Amino acid sequence: MNSECTLEKTGFSRCLVRCNGLDEIGFESWVFYPGMLFNSLDKWWGEGGDRPRHHEGIDLCLYRDKQGQNFRLDGATKIPVMYAGKIIKIEEDYLAHSLYVRHKIYDGNGRQLYTIYAHTEPYTGVDTGSIVNEGDIIATIAGDENKKEIMLPHVHISMAWVSESFPCERLNWDTMNESGLVTLCDPLEVIDCEYTTIRFDPS
């Protein structure tokens, strides 16, 4: 799995913090277990252990305030889109829904940028074909209802360079891992934010 983000820093984190009022309660930084990070093979839920394949992005769930206390996002958390684009697909994932957004951003090698927001519920009025501007709210984090696994509410974010010849309807979690026409990259390389990593303790 490659990491080929050559984009300028995005204000996605600041937007997410602001639109959810986290700045008003002293947001300081994001907090990650190792298994929440890109390319990890570790689980960060249940009893831990190994993932069946490399993590395709990052999981935003935990954050720290200026007093050093850790908190978590909940099912009402609003998710903004990173860049202007078009929602080309909404499909069910194993926790809720994944939204696929295609952006008019190209890498000069015949590839176009996509961002994917998983384990969410689409925001009112957001559907396949919707045109969105940077910072628009496209979803909320899904709550705890009907989950197949015991896992804290979170948003999974993937970024991918996708060949312009690759049919967008074929883009899914399997083809992102298996196709040579899709190159995943680490969202933390372009999300302008402070973060820290802490040890996962299943107890």
* Domain assignment of residue 40, yes or no: yes
Q: In what order do the strands lie in the sheet with 62-65?
A: 70-72, 62-65, 27-32, 195-197
Question: What CATH number should be reported for the domain holding residue 182?
Answer: 2.70.70.10
203 inside domain? no
Inside any domain, residue 202: no
* In a domain? residue 1: no
Cα separation, 114 vs 167, whole angstroms: 13
Tell me the CA distances in angstroms from 142 to 89, 95, 96, one per residue in order.
18, 8, 6
Q: Is residue 4 part of a domain?
A: no
Q: What is the pLDDT of residue 177?
A: 81
pLDDT at 178: 76
Continuous segment of H or E residues that includes residue 165? none
Predicted local distance difference test score (pLDDT) of residue 147 = 55
Backbone angles phi, psi at 35, to 5 degrees: -70, -10
Give the predicted TM-score (pTM) of the model.
0.94
Q: What integer pLDDT is reported at residue 5 of this predicted model? A: 60
Residue 38 domain-assigned? yes
Tell whether 193 is covered by a domain: yes
| Count of domains observed in the chain | 1
Predicted local confidence at residue 44, as pLDDT: 96
- Give the pLDDT confidence score for residue 7 in this predicted structure: 83
Give the model's pLDDT for residue 37: 98
Residues of the chain falling short of pLDDT 70: 1-6, 145-149
Could you tell me if residue 37 is inside a domain?
A: yes
Q: Report the 3 state secondary structure along 13-73.
A: HHHHHHHCCHHHHCEEEEEECHHHCCCCCECCCCCCCECCCCCCCEEECEEEECCCCEEEC
- Domain limits at 171? 12-197
